[in-house]
Amino acid sequence: MAQDSSLPDFWDVRYQQGVTPWEGACEDEQMGRFVRALPSGSRVLLPGCGSASDVRWLVAAGLQVDAIDFSREAIQRAAAVLQDCPARLWQADFFALPAVPLYDLVFERAFLCALPPRLWEDYTHKMQQIIKPGGYLAGVFFLAEKPKGPPFGSSREALVQLFGPHFSLLECQPVDAALPVFSGQEFWMVWQRK
């Protein structure tokens, strides 16, 4: 199996072989409350959307949803489940998105932890470019001592150091229904773009 998670091939093979232990998560109470408090029509991006399990509930909450993934296999699965859904879905590399502050919210789930830590500065830089001032980077982060991945873990302190120059941490709470692959160390975090 491909071993470099910064490449689409790594993910394509896993989708083809059905090795997708990150799947099966759903909306929980705190994320639903946060999202429903946003103005209707707010623009949200799901980077590394996978098979799109978060798209429908975000659309149902009244948001305008863009979903991207660089894996062709992921996009095929997402397209199949989103046939009648008004979200925009396309195959793209997150790091190649235009540096335009389009988004009120970027919804994170199992994306940062999928990236080798050498790319985390680039992730932060891109988030800073595409989120409107006052907008949010919010979602589920893997706070664990796990330098080998994916999933690659981080700590709250390390994320504050990484995001702190451009984002303020507003919320950090354990997620109710955590997946076994994340061993109970998933946290709902809300960061506001300064």
Ligand X SMILES: C[S@@+](CC[C@H](N)C(=O)[O-])C[C@H]1O[C@@H](n2cnc3c(N)ncnc32)[C@H](O)[C@@H]1O
Q: Per-residue b/e over 10-19, b at no fewer than 16 CB within 10 Å?
A: bbbebbeeee
Burial of 114 from C-beta contacts in 10 A (0-12 / 13-18 / 19+): buried
Q: Which is nearer to ligand X, 99 or 134 (CB)?
A: 99
Q: Which is nearer to ligand X, 23 or 27 (CB)?
A: 23
Name the minimum Å distance from CB 22 to ligand X. Answer: 4
Q: Which is nearer to ligand X, 61 or 113 (CB)?
A: 113
Name the minimum Å distance from CB 34 to ligand X. Answer: 17
Q: Which is nearer to ligand X, 16 or 168 (CB)?
A: 16
**What whole-number distance in Å separates Cα of residue 124 and Cα of residue 32?**
24
Contact residues toward ligand X (CB under 6 A) are 11, 22-23, 25, 47-50, 53, 68-71, 74, 93-95, 109-111, 114-115
CB contact set of 155 (below 8 Å; sequence gap of 6+): 143, 145
Question: Quick check: 186 and 28 in contact, CB under 8 A?
Answer: no
Name the minimum Å distance from CB 27 to ligand X. Answer: 12
> What is the spatial order of strands in the sheet that 43-47 belongs to?
88-91, 64-69, 43-47, 103-109, 131-142, 186-193, 167-174
Name the minimum Å distance from CB 158 to ligand X. Answer: 19
Distance of CA 105 to the CA centre of its chain: 11
Name the minimum Å distance from CB 179 to ligand X. Answer: 9
Phi, psi dihedrals of residue 60, rounded to the nearest 5°: -65, -25
Q: Which is nearer to ligand X, 39 or 180 (CB)?
A: 180
